[in-house]
Amino acid sequence: MVVTSDIYLPEESELTVPEVNLSGSTLYAGSFHLGKYCEHANNEFMLCRMEEQDPRKCINEGKAVTACTMEFFRKVKNTCLNEFNQYANCLDKSSGDYSFKFCRNTQGVYDKCMLEKMNIERPSFGYFTEVRVHDTKRPKPPVEPKAVYPDATPALPEDAEKKPSRFGSRFYWMTE
């Protein structure tokens, strides 16, 4: 394997946290409100993950994401369990890919409950597919500088004479 003994890998105990043990339909049913509730943790983790391109450096952010998700579903369980279960059941049984379009009635009931008891509104249409600006305290990883090679071909000097072309351009209809 390519993983040598020089490479730091976290211990198993460092990586063991209570995981979100929920099924697909449940996650889909809670997805929009979950994304809104845990927006900061999610953005922090995804920014770290995409900037560093290394799962080892974003473990704490990932733990925060999982903890936030657990907290959200616990709160839902305490407040809107019946409405949520009804919606998740509808998503599970109406289609093969958990489409939302067949479950607007149960979704309305669930949304109303979430708004009243947890004060989370369903995000606007396509909210999570849009670009969102995230402000973070984590420093940006250094960008690798452009490589300089000692034997590179020398470029023209700055003050070299540049004559106009003798026969015009091949793409004369575009450039002239």
The answer to whether 111 contacts other proteins (rule: CB under 8 A) is: no
Tell me how far the alpha carbon of residue 80 is from its chain's centroid.
27
Please say which residue, 15 or 81, places its beta carbon nearer to other proteins. Answer: 15
HSE of 83 in the Cβ direction (CA atoms, 13 Å)?
19
Nearest to 103 by CA among 33, 25, 23, 22: 25
Q: Two tokens at 163?
A: 């004559």
Q: Two tokens at 2?
A: 């390519």
The answer to whether 174 contacts other proteins (rule: CB under 8 A) is: no
The answer to whether 166 contacts other proteins (rule: CB under 8 A) is: no
Helix H or strand E segment including 116: none
Q: Output the smallest distance, CB 35 to other proteins, in A.
A: 3
Residues of this chain that interact with other proteins (CB under 8 A) are 1-12, 15-17, 19-20, 27-28, 31-32, 34-35, 38, 41-42, 45-46, 49, 54-56, 58-59, 61-63, 65-66, 69, 97-101, 123, 125-129
